[in-house]
Amino acid sequence: MANEVPSLDQFLDGLAARNPGEIEFQQAVCEVAADVLPFIQDKPKYQEWQIMRRIAEPDRIVIFRVTWRDDKGNIRVNRGYRVQNSNAIGPYKGGLRFHPSVNLSILKFLAFEQTFKNSLTGLAMGGGKGGSDFNPKGKSDNEVMQFCQSFMTELCRHIGPSIDVPAGDIGVGAREIGYMFGQYKRLTNTFQGVLTGKGIEYGGSLARGEATGYGTVYFLEDMLKAKKDEIKGKSVVISGSGNVAIYAAEKIIHLGGKPITLSDSGGFIHDKDGIDQEKLEWLKDLKFTRRGRIEEYAEVFGAHYHKGKSPWQVECDIALPCATQNEISEADAQALIKNGCKAVSEGANMPTVLAGIKVFRDAKILYAPSKAANAGGVAVSGLEMRQNSALTSWTQDEVNVLLRDIMTNIHDRCTDYGSDSDGHIDYVRGANIGGFVKVADAMLAFGVV
């Protein structure tokens, strides 16, 4: 065997040459490789079989045109994608994102991250991600339906319950999943669990909506518990006001903490009295039913609205970034530490830039990277697949107990690989190596494929 472990710089140079301009993808791979390459230094099997190089090359990428007609009769054209990164340990699994910022680099980073995250859940799921540059914001229900049907008309050739099972992500919620499932069913004349995040009436799982936000807070709870601390009484800064942010806030309230901010792409609200369950119910209606802006919260409840700003300068004990990638800059991370933040649990995918991660790691705060902290959503998607294949459905409590357990198992796995001699737990290293090993061992079993 001739292959030697490259240095991190050599590996990243090769990666950049093969994926020019794909900065988010390079960032995600760099973060993982910085932990995995030293880990495999004395493990020839992983080096010789080029496992890291292979995981960082998607199995397959499908790019397609999505043509649809808007309410005025205009023909509109968007671009659709599905990145199937790895099916080493199960069918490809990962969400669909509809947002104007979507491009190949973003979906490749998300599919790569998903591969490690899904491995950490302990369930049999490979990694994938997809979506489109379509912007559902401001579109009528009919326009969203026209788009979703056209998108699925092409995507259906590439997915299936044992091939690839997409779910929601930014811009893809219950409405979009419903339209896409309906079109898949119509085109294939089958009723099968080809998407997760489905409505309860047609094969969805109870607690899937809550799972990512709740899971992010369960992971936080486990990190604090390991330090003999708790969420009760802590003030919590949260970004975003979508599916993940709202349910993260709800679980913080359940556990006696005080969420004090939420945001959207227009700005953030700061409620010094705390967002309680009653205010949160109002927010659910605002965001999930009326599709309104967070600014309205400030008017109704007398909170401060900071237009065009993110909430990281606000004093807090805990920060939960739940909006989007790279939303915490190096300066934001420094401000959080300076203002007393002791724990960060990432609900969004890769919300912290690499320099910001370094700030958190150097400060040795409790820092849970997204691939561990937000794995609860895909874990419950995995449970939805199980319920679909057994033609059964479990109660909210049954699913929630399993979710709670899975998050603790992920925490334990991170502890196994991330514990330092001084007792500190480096959750970034723990998640990267903990996610890598299972996928890598499966790949070794397959030989050169």
Which residue shows structure tokens 């989007």? Answer: 324
- Give the containing element (helix H, strand E) for 84: strand 75-86
Nearest residue to 287 (alpha-carbon basis) of 235, 325, 249:
249
- The reply to whether 352 sits near ligand NDP by the rule CB under 6 A is no
Site for ligand NDP contains 242 (CB under 6 A):
yes
Closest CA to 170 of 207, 133, 127: 133
**Residue 394, SS3?**
coil
**127 is an interface residue for ligand NDP by CB under 6 A:** no
- Binding of ligand NDP at residue 26 (CB under 6 A)? no
Tokens of 297: 């919260």
Report in angstroms the alpha-carbon separations of 344 from 32, 72, 362, 382.
19, 46, 14, 26
Residues 6+ apart with CB under 8 A from 31: 350, 354, 357, 369, 428, 432
Residue 113 engages ligand NDP in binding (rule: CB under 6 A): no
Region 320-339 residues binding ligand NDP, contact defined as CB under 6 A: 322-324
DSSP string, 357-374: HHHHHHHT-EEE-HHHHT
Question: Is residue 374 close enough to count as binding ligand NDP by CB under 6 A?
Answer: yes
Q: Is 118 in the site for ligand NDP (CB under 6 A)?
A: no
Chosen residue from 377, 382, 418, 435 binding ligand NDP by CB under 6 A? 377
Beta strand 258-264 with 235-238 is: parallel
Instruction: Give dist(CA 77, CA 166) in Å, integer.
Output: 22
Task: State the Cα–Cα distance between residues 49 and 444, nearest whole angstrom.
Answer: 7
119 binds ligand NDP (CB under 6 A): no
Closest CA to 370 of 324, 312, 304: 324
Q: Is 171 in the site for ligand NDP (CB under 6 A)?
A: yes
> In the complex, what is the shortest distance from the CB of residue 251 to ligand NDP, in angstroms, rounded to a whole number?
14
Q: 149, 243, 387, 400: which one contacts ligand NDP (CB under 6 A)?
A: 243
Q: Which of 235-243, 337-345, 406-414, 422-430 is the region at the interface with ligand NDP (rule: CB under 6 A)?
A: 235-243
**184 versus 247: smaller Cβ distance to ligand NDP:** 247
Nearest approach in angstroms of CB 109 to ligand NDP is 10
Mask of contacts with ligand NDP, 202-231, x by CB under 6 A?
Answer: ----------x-------------------
Name which position in 96, 145, 217, 348 contacts ligand NDP (CB under 6 A): 348
Q: Minimal distance in Å, beta carbon 218 to ligand NDP?
A: 14
Residue closest to ligand NDP when measured from CB atoms = 242
Stretch of 74-82, 221-229, 230-238, 342-350 contacting ligand NDP, by CB under 6 A: 342-350
Residues 250/273, Cβ–Cβ less than 8 Å = no
232 is catalytic: no
Segment near ligand NDP (CB under 6 A); pick from 68-76, 260-268, 393-401, 407-415? 260-268
Q: SS3 of 199, please?
A: coil
Q: Applying CB under 6 A, does 435 fall inside the site for ligand NDP?
A: no
CB of 114 to ligand NDP, least distance (A): 9
> Does position 105 bind ligand NDP by CB under 6 A?
no
Among candidate residues 93, 108, 129, 371, the one labeled active-site is 129
Sheet holding 235-238, edge to edge: 304-307, 267-270, 258-264, 235-238, 318-320, 343-345, 366-368
Residues that bind ligand NDP in the complex, under the rule CB under 6 A: 168-171, 212, 240-245, 264-266, 322-324, 347-349, 374, 377
**Catalytic annotation, residues:** 129
